[in-house]
Amino acid sequence: MDRRQEILEAAAKSFSLFGYKATTMDQVAKIANVGKGTIYTFFANKEELFNAVVVKMINEMRTEADAAAVEGASFEKNAHARLMQMLKFRETHQLYAKLVDEEREIRTPAVSEVLEAIEKEIVSYIREKIEKAIRKGELKQCDTELIAYLLFKAYLALVVDWGKTHDAELTEKRIVELLSGTVFNSLLL
Amino acid sequence: MDRRQEILEAAAKSFSLFGYKATTMDQVAKIANVGKGTIYTFFANKEELFNAVVVKMINEMRTEADAAAVEGASFEKNAHARLMQMLKFRETHQLYAKLVDEEREIRTPAVSEVLEAIEKEIVSYIREKIEKAIRKGELKQCDTELIAYLLFKAYLALVVDWGKTHDAELTEKRIVELLSGTVFNSLLL
DNA sequence: GATTGACCAAAATACATTTACGGTCATCTA
DNA sequence: TAGATGACCGTAAATGTATTTTGGTCAATC
C-alpha cells in the first residue's frame, strides 16, 4: 500500500488520540510501520504532516456539510443544516475536538494556526453558498463576506458559547426562530 | 479620608498596572499607606477586594455607555453607540484591558470569573434597553434575552475578533450597514 | 535510490531548593 | 479598648539544575 497514505493515516490516528504536541514522530513511525526517516521523505517536518492531516479532515467536513443540505430546500434551511452539521462535526470528530481542547488548555502555535485556517475555510464555504443563492435569485445582493462571517460567529455563539455560561444549551428551535426572524429574513429578495 | 476608599483606590491602581495575579496585598497596603492587616478588616480576601474594584469599574462603564446615547435618537442609533462605547472602554480602560490581556496569556480563575460577570452585565444592560424600547412601542415583541446576547456577540465579533484574523479593522460604516440591514431592521415594529 | 535508526542539539520535564505570597494574630497605640 | 499593624506561618509558586525526550539529520544498509 501507498507509504505516504499509511503515514498520513498513522499521523491522523495519533493526532486524534494525543493531540499535536503529545504526538511524536517516533510514535507516528511506529504506528505506520516505517522508519522515522521515511516520514521525512514525504513531509518536510511535523507541522507539514499535521497540515496534511488537517486538510484531509477539512474535506471530510465539507463533504458532511454538503450531505446535510437538501436539494431544493430554502437557503435558510440548508444554511442552518450546514452550519449545525459543521458545529456538530467540531465536537464529534476526534481530531477536531482534540485540537479545540488543546487550544484551550495548552497554547500550541501550530494548533492555533490550524484552527484559524479551519474557521476561515468554513466562512468561505458559507460565503460560497450565499453567493450561489444570490446568483439563483433567492437572496438579495449583500456584503457576502461580512454576512458569512456574521452567520458563522452567530452560530458559534449560540451553539457553543451559550452553553458555557448558562446551565442549559439553547434548543435548536429557539436558535432557528431567532435567526430566521433576524439575519435570514433580511437576506431574502 | 475613608480608609476603605483609599484601599479600593490603591487596589484599583495596582490591578490596573500589574493585573490580578501580579498584584500583592503588600503592594496594595503600601500604596494605600495602611498596614496589610487593615485591608482584611474591610475585605475578606484578595478576591473580594478585586471584585469590589471591578464592581466600581462596571458602574463607570455603565455611566459612559449611558452618556454615549442621545435622548430621542432611534433605538438602533443608541444601541450602536452604547455597544461601541463599551467595546472601546474594554480596550481603553487600563484595568479592563489588563484583565483581557491576563485572561489571554495566563489563566487566572478569578480573572475569568470576573470577565464572565462583566459580559453578563453588558448583556443584561443591552437587554434592559431593548425591553424599554419595546415598552415604548419602538420595537416589536421578541426574545430579548437572546437578541441582547446576539447583539453583544455580533459586535464583539465584528469589532474585536475580525481584526485578529484580517489585516484591516472593519470600518464603523460597514458594521452599521451590516447590522442595520439585518438584526436592527428586523426588530422594528 | 529508497529506507532506516543511531545520533545530535535543543527543548521539555522532573526534581530539589529557595523565595514569595495570602492570610493571621499577638502586640501596639491613640 | 478598638482598630491598626507588621512579624510570622504554611503553602504555593518561582527558580535553578540534572535528566530525559524529541524533531530532525545522514551515513550505513538493503
Boundaries of every domain in chain B: 47-187
The helix, strand and coil proportions of chain B, stated in percent and rounded to the nearest 5, come to 80, 0, 20
Q: Are A98 and A16 in contact (CB under 8 A)?
A: yes
Query: C-alpha grid cell for residue B31?
Result: 500604596
Where does B47-187 sit in CATH, by number? 1.10.357.10
A142-160 pLDDT, tens digit per residue, is 999 999 999 999 999 999 9
* Shortest Cα–Cα distance, B64 to chain A (Å): 26
pLDDT value for A35: 97
User: Is strand C in 7 Å reach of the CB of A3?
Assistant: yes
CB atoms within 10 A of CB A73: 12
pLDDT value for B152: 98
pLDDT class for A26, splitting at 50, 70, 90? very high
- pLDDT beneath 70: ranges in chain B: 1
CA A150 to chain centre: 16
pLDDT value for B189: 86
Q: Could B154 and A150 be called an inter-chain contact, meaning their C-beta atoms sit closer than 8 Å?
A: yes
CA A153 to chain centre: 13
CA dihedral B138, B133, B153, B157 (to 10 degrees): 50
Q: Are A126 and A57 in contact (CB under 8 A)?
A: no
Of A119, A161, A186, the CB nearest to B186: A186
Query: C-alpha grid cell for residue B82?
Result: 452604547
Distance CA B137, CA B188 (A): 9
| Cβ-based contacts of A130 with chain B (< 8 Å) | none
Where does A54-187 sit in CATH, by number? 1.10.357.10
Of A143, A174, A186, the CB nearest to B185: A186
| Cβ-based contacts of A142 with chain B (< 8 Å) | 181
Range A79-97 average pLDDT? 98
pLDDT at A1 over 80: no
User: Is strand C in 7 Å reach of the CB of A110?
Assistant: no
Q: Could A182 and B186 be called an inter-chain contact, meaning their C-beta atoms sit closer than 8 Å?
A: yes
* Distance from residue B20's CA to nucleotide C9's C1', rounded to whole Å: 39
pLDDT at A52 over 80: yes
Query: C-alpha grid cell for residue B127?
Result: 437587554
B112-156 pLDDT, tens digit per residue, is 999 999 999 999 999 999 999 999 999 999 999 999 999 999 999
